[in-house]
Structure 1
Amino acid sequence: MALSGIELRYLVDTITEQAQGYYVSNIYGITKDSILFKLHHTEKSDLFMMISTSGVWLTSVKIDQMEPNRLLKRLRSDLLRLKLKKIEQIGAERIAYFTFEGFGKEFVLVGEFFGDGNILLCNNEMKILALQHSIDVRHRKLSVGLKYTQPPSSGLDIFNLKESDFDELKTTDLVAAKWFGRTLGLPKKYVEAVFEIAKIDGKKIGNLLTAEEIKKIFETVKKIVSDIISGNHDAVIVRNEKTEVLPIRLGKLEGEITQVNSFIEGLDTVFTENIIEKGKSVQSSGSDKKIKELQTQISEQEKAIETVKERSKNITNVANSLFEMVSKGIISIEDNLAQEILAKNNAKLINEKGISLIVVQDEKIKINTQSPLQSIASVLFDEAKKQSSAIFSIKAIKEKTEKRLEKFQSKTDSEKDLIVVSEIRKKNWYERYRWFFTTDGFLTIGGRDAASNSAVIRKHLDKNDKIFHGDIFGSPFFILKDSQNAPDTSMNEVAHATVCFSRAWREGMYGVSAYWVYPDQIKKSAPSGEFLPKGSFTIEGQRNFIKSDTLRLAVGIMPIDDDYVLTCGPPEPIKKNSLCYAIIEPHGLEMAECAKKIRIEFSKLFEDITRKINIDEFVRALPAGKSQIIKASIGDSQNGNLIDNEFD
C-alpha cells in the first residue's frame, strides 16, 4: 500500500497536533526501511512515531528489531534529546520534513514516501548528512555532502485547486479518468471513486464532458480532499487480493471490510503487518540460507568419509598384495613383477626429488625401497589405520554440523510463529514522574528534572497532600498523595526516597535529612524583587524534618492493571508490592550498566515478564549517578519461596 499526498497531509497535521512539546527520548531500528521514534513529554504520555519508506504514523505497538538499519547510529547521535519542532509536507508531494532542534542544533529528517522511498538526515541548511540510499538520476542526485533537492513537481497542488484548473479537461482528447490521474497525481482508487461518486463515466473523452459534469467532478474532488485532511473519516481496512486502508469509503468495496476508529489507527494495523511480514521474511531467508550451507557441509562431510574409507581399504589391499609378492618369491618392490601387481591394485611406485613413494588413490606414502616387502607392508598398514582414524574426526565434525542444522531448522520453524510485536501499554499519569506506593498503600510522586519538578507541584498538588524536599541543594520535590492520616512508616519512606533521589546519591552523602510541609506553605511565585529558577518554589512556615541515615533504594517489577511496570523507591514498599526486586546503593556501575545487570537478574527469576520491559525503562527507574546491586530477590507479591541472590 502506498500513501497518497492527501493522506500524508492528514497524517502530518494529526501527528503535529499530538506531538507538540515532545522530544526524542529513544530511536529504534526495526528494519532497514523502518525507524521507530519514542517521543517523551514531561506532562503527557509517551508517543511512538514510526517513519518508514512507506509513510509516517503513530503506533500503538513496539516491534522488535528484525534487521540492521544503517541510519540508526547516526540518528541516535544527532537527534536524541532534541525537540520535535515541526512536521511539514512539501506541497502536495509525498515528502515530509521533520525538524528537530535543541542544544543550539537543528536537523531535518526527510521522508520520501514514493517509489522505493528514502529517509535522509540533513542539517539546517539541507546538506545531506546521512541517507538510506543514494540516488543519481537525470533530474536530481542525492548523496552525503550534497544539498537535498526535491523531485520535480508531479502536477497541480490538490490542496489549492480552482475550477479553472480543470479547463484543460474540456479540450483534451484523453479519457477523462486518465487525464485526471496524470494531472492531479492521485492514485487509481481515488480517481475511480471521484467519477463513481459524481456518477460520471470516467472512460468518457475529456472534451465530451459537459460544463456541469466538470463542475461536479471539481466539487467531488474538493469534498474528498477536505474530508480526508480534516479527519472527517469513515476509515476502513479492505482485505482482498491486497490489503489497504481507506480514510473514507471510496465507491464499491469488495473483500473483507473492517471498520477502524481512524485512518491513522488503520494505517498502524496494516503497515505494521507489512513490516512484520517483511522482517520475518528477511529473518527466515537468513536462516534458510544458513540451513542450505549446513546441508552442503554435511553432504561434503559424508563424501569425505566415503572417500577416506575407500582410500583406507585400497591402501590395505596394496599392503596385502606385498605379502602376495613374497609368496611368489619377489624380494624387491622395484622388481618388474612387483610393479605389475601394484598396478593391478591401482597403485604405482614413483620417485620425486630422490624420494621413493607409493601412490594409492592420489595418496602418496613415503617408503624405503631397500626395505623388505614385509616392512613396506607394515608402513602401508599404519597409513591405512591413520586414514581410518581420520574418519572418526570427520564424523565428530559432521555430528556437530547436524546439531547446528537442527538448531537452525527449529529456529526457522519458530520464526514463522514468532511474536515480534508487543502492545504499548498506556501508562498511568503518575508514571511520567518518579513514583512508588508506600508500605501503607499511599501513592508518592516526585520530579525527575526541573520541568517535572515544576509539574508535580503545579499540576498534582492537592490540599490533602504533603510535600517533601531534601535539606540539600539539588533535591526533587516529592508528594505523598491523600496523606492527611498517613502513618509514620509512609512519611519516613517518602523522606528517605526524597534524599536518595537527590544529589546525595550521586555524591554518596549519608545522613542527609528531608522535610515535609503542607500545600498552603508552597508559594509558586518568588517574593518581590527575587527570581526563582524553573522547578523551584518558595516555602513558608515550619518545616518538619526527618533524617535519613542510609542511602538505599530498590528497583522492582510491580503488577498493575493486568500488566507489569518498573518502580523504584525505598526497599520495604518495593519488596512488598513487587514480583521481584533488586536493592541498590550508591557507587559502582554507571546507570546503563547497572540497568543491564538488574535486567539480567530479573530475567533469571521472571524471564517472560522481564523480556517485555525495555532496557530504557530500567535506566529511567534508577537514581542519577552510579549504583551497585546488593541483592536481587523475589518480592512479597509473588507466592512461593523467596530466592535471594546476594552480591559482593
Structure 2
Amino acid sequence: RIAYFTFEGFGKEFVLVGEFFGEGNILLCNNEMKILALQHSIDVRHRKLGVGLEYTQPPSNSIDIFNLKESDFDELKTTDLVAAKWFGRTLGLPKKYVEAVFEITGIDGKRIGNLLSNEEIKKIFETVKKIVSDIISGNHDVVIVRDERIEVLPLKLGKLEGDVTPANSFIEGLDTVFTESIIAKGKSVQSSGSDKKIKELQIQILEQEKAIETVKERSKNITDAANSLFEMVSKGIISITDNVAGEILANHNAKLVNEKGISLIVIQDEKIKINTQSSLQSIASVLFNEAKKQSAAISSIQAIKEKTEKKLEKFQSKTESERDLITVSEIRKKNWYERYRWFFTTDGYLTIGGRDAASNSAVVRKHLDKNDKIFHGDIFGSPFFILKDAENAPDTSMNEVAHATVCFSRAWREGMYGVSAYWVHPDQVKKSAPSGEFLPKGSFTIEGQRNFIKSETLRLAVGIIKQDDNYILTCGPPEPIKKYSTCYAIIEPHGLEMVETAKKIRIEFSKLEEQIAKNIPIDDYVRVLPAGKSQIIKVEYGDAFTIPL
C-alpha cells in the first residue's frame, strides 16, 4: 500500500511517495530519500517522518502475505487470541477478507486460535493462499456491491449483502465506483442549499416532537399532583400548607413556594398560582384545569408539526427533482483550436483568433504559417485572427473573417459601427519591435500594404455544432454558424451582461435541443461570447451540416 513515483526536474531526481493506509500521506523526497515536503508529519514510537529526515516505511508484519507458507500459521495454534483477531493483527488483512476466509471454510472466527485443529488451520491456510493467489494473478471474479456504501471487490467473498452486480474487470469496477461517488458528491454540492433547508426542517420536527413529549410529561405531572391532593383529603389533611402535604407534593415532583407574597405550586418548571386558603378540592380543580391547558397545547404543537412534515415532504420531492435535473457529462478531449476564438467559414476554412493579450500572442507566434492570412481591426483593442491555409481563399471567407475580427474587438463593447479590418500576409508581421521601441504583449509590427475590408454591421451568432459524437459551442459570423449548427442564436451589441446573455441563450437552446443544450456547461456559453453586453435577435434551428475536419 505504498507507491513510489520517480521523476526528474531541475536537473535532479526526486521520488514522490504515496502511502495508502490510515489517513494516507504524500511525501516528496530527493534521490537519497531525504524528505523535502510531506502532507502529514508523523512522530510515533516506531516511526518519525518530517522535513529533513530520511523516509522510512512502517514496520512490516512478520508474515509476507504474498509468500505464505503453512508454517506461518504455527503461531495460530498456540495463540490465546480469537482466530479472526489474530488474522487482522498478523496478516493485516481487511476485515471483509478475514470474515470471508472463515465463512468459506465454515470455521467460526470467534474461536480461540489454540482450540483450532491442525486440519482446520490447514484449511484456513489454503483458503487464504488461494484468495491471495487469485487476486495477484488476475484470476478475478469482480463484483460491485451496493449496500450502505458502494465498493468493488476483485473476488466474491462469501455471502455478500446488498445489491451485487458483476463487472468485466477490477479497473472497470473501480471506474464505476469512483464515477458514481464523484457524481453523487457533485450533485450533493450543487444541491447543498436545498439539503441545508431540509436539515433545518428535520431539526424543527425533532424539536416539535421533543416539545410534545415535554408538554405531555408536564400535563401528566400536574394531573398526578392534583390527584395527590385527594390523597391528602383521605388522610385528613385540610390545608395545602400542612407539612405532610408538602411531603406528599414532593413525592409527586411538586412543591409549594411563595414568591413576592404569591403562593405557587411548582411542577416541572411550571408555576401555578393558587390560594392557600382554598380547600384542597378547589386547588385540585385549579391544577386539573392547568393540565387540560397543557394537553390543549399538545394539539397545537402537533398541528404545527404536521405542517412542517408536509413542508419537508414537499421540499424533499422538489430537491429530488432538482437533483434529477443536474446533468453530468463526460469530459471530452478538446481540439487544439478551442483554446482560442474559432469558427469555420462558409467555404470550410478554419479561423482562429485571440481572446486576450496572451492568446493573441500565442495565435501569431505558434499558429501563423506561410499560407495563412492574418487579420486585425482598424481600431485599438482588436484581436488578431488567422485564416488557415488561405492562399486561395474566396472573398466570402475573407469577408467573414474580417467581420469576426471587428465584432470581437472593442467595437462590440462600444457599439462602434462601420469599423474596418485589414489583412496582410504572414511575412508582413514582425514579432519583435524595431530597435529602440517597445511592443506590448500580444502586439506585433505590420509592414507593407494593408488590405482593408469594411464591416457594415456588428452581428454574431452563437451555435451548437456536432463534431464526431460531441456537441460544442462556437461563435462567429451568422452565415457559417447557421450552416454548421444544430441550433444558433444571433446577437448584437447592447442589452444584457455576458453571464445573463449566456443563461438566456442556454434557455432558448433548451427549447430546441434540451438534452444537448443542458449538457454544455454555462461557462462554455460565456466563453464564446464577445466581451461586453449583448442582446439576442433570434434563435432557430441551423442547417446542421457536419463540421469539416
TM-score in terms of structure 1 length: 0.47
Tell me the residue number matched to 1:515: 421
State which of 25, 29, 40 in structure 2 corresponds to 1:118.
Answer: 25
State which of 363, 366, 372 in structure 2 corresponds to 1:453.
Answer: 363
Q: Alpha-carbon deviation of 1:514?
A: 3.3
Residues 207-222 of structure 1 correspond to what in structure 2 (within 5 A)? none
Q: Which runs of 5+ in 2 are unaligned?
A: 59-63, 69-136, 143-152, 156-165, 545-549
**Which whole-Å CA distance do the structure 1 matches of 2:363 and 2:445 have between them?**
10
Q: Does 1:628 align with 2:533?
A: yes
**What amino acid is aligned across from residue 350 of structure 1 in structure 2?**
L
**Which whole-Å CA distance do the structure 2 matches of 1:398 and 1:130 have between them?**
56
Q: Does 1:472 align with 2:376?
A: no
Change (3 A) 1:270 1:382: closer
State which of 311, 315, 332 in structure 2 corresponds to 1:425.
Answer: 332
**Which whole-Å CA distance do the structure 2 matches of 1:636 and 1:151 have between them?**
63
Tell me the residue number matched to 1:101: none
**Which whole-Å CA distance do the structure 1 matches of 2:340 and 2:138 have between them?**
38
Tell me the residue number matched to 2:292: 384
Q: Alpha-carbon deviation of 1:546?
A: 0.9
**What amino acid is aligned across from residue 368 of structure 2 in structure 1?**
R
Q: Alpha-carbon deviation of 1:356?
A: 1.9
Give deviations 1:370-429, integer Å, cap 9, x for gaps: 6798799578636733652354335534653576489779989999x9999743223234
Give deviations 1:18-60, integer Å, cap 9, x for gaps: xxxxxxxxxxxxxxxxxxxxxxxxxxxxxxxxxxxxxxxxxxx
Give deviations 1:564-615, integer Å, cap 9, x for gaps: 22223346765773646484747986xxxx4487247626863754554445
| 8 Å CA contact 1:580, 1:635 repeated in 2 | yes
Q: Alpha-carbon deviation of 1:454?
A: 1.4
SS at structure 1 position matched to 2:296: helix
Q: Alpha-carbon deviation of 1:434?
A: 0.8
| 8 Å CA contact 1:315, 1:381 repeated in 2 | no
State which of 491, 495, 502 in structure 2 corresponds to 1:598.
Answer: 502
Q: Alpha-carbon deviation of 1:470?
A: 0.9
Q: Alpha-carbon deviation of 1:512?
A: 6.3
**Which whole-Å CA distance do the structure 2 matches of 1:487 and 1:451 have between them?**
26
Change (3 A) 1:430 1:177: same
SS at structure 1 position matched to 2:401: helix
Residues 216-295 of structure 1 correspond to what in structure 2 (within 5 A)? 239-240=140-141, 242-243=153-154, 272-273=175-176, 275-276=178-179
SS at structure 2 position matched to 1:468: strand
Give deviations 1:424-473, integer Å, cap 9, x for gaps: 223234323211245776643223424432157524x64xx654221134
SS at structure 1 position matched to 2:416: coil
**Which whole-Å CA distance do the structure 2 matches of 1:547 and 1:292 have between them?**
58
Structure number with bigger Rg: 2
**Which whole-Å CA distance do the structure 1 matches of 2:495 and 2:67 have between them?**
71
Residues 575-590 of structure 1 correspond to what in structure 2 (within 5 A)? 577=485, 579=487, 581=489, 583=491, 585=493
State which of 474, 495, 498 in structure 1 corresponds to 2:405.
Answer: 498
**Which whole-Å CA distance do the structure 2 matches of 1:309 and 1:380 have between them?**
14
Q: Does 1:545 align with 2:453?
A: yes
| 8 Å CA contact 1:453, 1:476 repeated in 2 | no
**Which whole-Å CA distance do the structure 2 matches of 1:476 and 1:583 have between them?**
19
Change (3 A) 1:498 1:385: same
Q: Alpha-carbon deviation of 1:496?
A: 3.0
| 8 Å CA contact 1:454, 1:535 repeated in 2 | no
Q: Which runs of 5+ in 1 are unaligned?
A: 14-84, 97-110, 155-173, 179-235, 245-254, 259-265, 640-648
**Which whole-Å CA distance do the structure 2 matches of 1:309 and 1:596 have between them?**
55
**Which whole-Å CA distance do the structure 2 matches of 1:320 and 1:615 have between them?**
70
**Which whole-Å CA distance do the structure 1 matches of 2:495 and 2:52 have between them?**
48
Give deviations 1:169-200, integer Å, cap 9, x for gaps: xxxxx9x979xxxxxxxxxxxxxxxxxxxxxx
Residues 568-579 of structure 1 correspond to what in structure 2 (within 5 A)? 568-570=475-477, 577=485, 579=487
**Which whole-Å CA distance do the structure 2 matches of 1:431 and 1:177 have between them?**
53
**Which whole-Å CA distance do the structure 2 matches of 1:284 and 1:503 have between them?**
39
**Which whole-Å CA distance do the structure 2 matches of 1:148 and 1:408 have between them?**
53
Give deviations 1:449-506, integer Å, cap 9, x for gaps: 24432157524x64xx654221134433223457757565x65543232123335556
Change (3 A) 1:604 1:272: farther
**Which whole-Å CA distance do the structure 2 matches of 1:635 and 1:237 have between them?**
54
Q: Alpha-carbon deviation of 1:510?
A: 2.0
Residues 138-217 of structure 1 correspond to what in structure 2 (within 5 A)? 140-142=48-50, 147=51, 151-152=55-56
**Which whole-Å CA distance do the structure 1 matches of 2:10 and 2:520 have between them?**
30
Percent identical pairs in the alignment equals 40
**What amino acid is aligned across from residue 636 of structure 1 in structure 2?**
Y
State which of 351, 374, 392 in structure 2 corresponds to 1:444.
Answer: 351
| 8 Å CA contact 1:554, 1:569 repeated in 2 | yes
**What amino acid is aligned across from residue 384 of structure 1 in structure 2?**
K
**Which whole-Å CA distance do the structure 1 matches of 2:490 and 2:28 have between them?**
41
Q: Alpha-carbon deviation of 1:513?
A: 2.7
Q: Alpha-carbon deviation of 1:559?
A: 3.7
**Which whole-Å CA distance do the structure 2 matches of 1:410 and 1:3 have between them?**
45
**Which whole-Å CA distance do the structure 2 matches of 1:450 and 1:408 have between them?**
49
**What amino acid is aligned across from residue 352 of structure 1 in structure 2?**
N
**Which whole-Å CA distance do the structure 2 matches of 1:284 and 1:602 have between them?**
20
Change (3 A) 1:4 1:376: closer
**What amino acid is aligned across from residue 506 of structure 2 in structure 1?**
F
Residues 311-330 of structure 1 correspond to what in structure 2 (within 5 A)? 311-312=218-219
| 8 Å CA contact 2:216, 2:294 repeated in 1 | no
Change (3 A) 1:400 1:514: same
**Which whole-Å CA distance do the structure 2 matches of 1:571 and 1:511 have between them?**
17
Tell me the residue number matched to 2:472: 565
Q: Does 1:536 align with 2:453?
A: no
**Which whole-Å CA distance do the structure 1 matches of 2:385 and 2:366 have between them?**
8
Change (3 A) 1:419 1:582: same
Give deviations 1:222-259, integer Å, cap 9, x for gaps: xxxxxxxxxxxxxx987447559xxxxxxxxxx9886x
**Which whole-Å CA distance do the structure 1 matches of 2:54 and 2:154 have between them?**
30
| 8 Å CA contact 1:558, 1:567 repeated in 2 | yes
Tell me the residue number matched to 1:49: none
**Which whole-Å CA distance do the structure 2 matches of 1:409 and 1:509 have between them?**
47
Q: Alpha-carbon deviation of 1:543?
A: 1.0
SS at structure 2 position matched to 1:423: coil
**What amino acid is aligned across from residue 421 of structure 2 in structure 1?**
Y
**Which whole-Å CA distance do the structure 2 matches of 1:301 and 1:588 have between them?**
47
**What amino acid is aligned across from residue 497 of structure 1 in structure 2?**
A
SS at structure 2 position matched to 1:427: coil
Q: How many residues align?
A: 424
Give deviations 1:58-103, integer Å, cap 9, x for gaps: xxxxxxxxxxxxxxxxxxxxxxxxxxx779863xxxx33xxxxxxx
Give deviations 1:125-150, integer Å, cap 9, x for gaps: xx9999643333576543xxxx5655
**Which whole-Å CA distance do the structure 2 matches of 1:121 and 1:618 have between them?**
40
Change (3 A) 1:237 1:638: farther
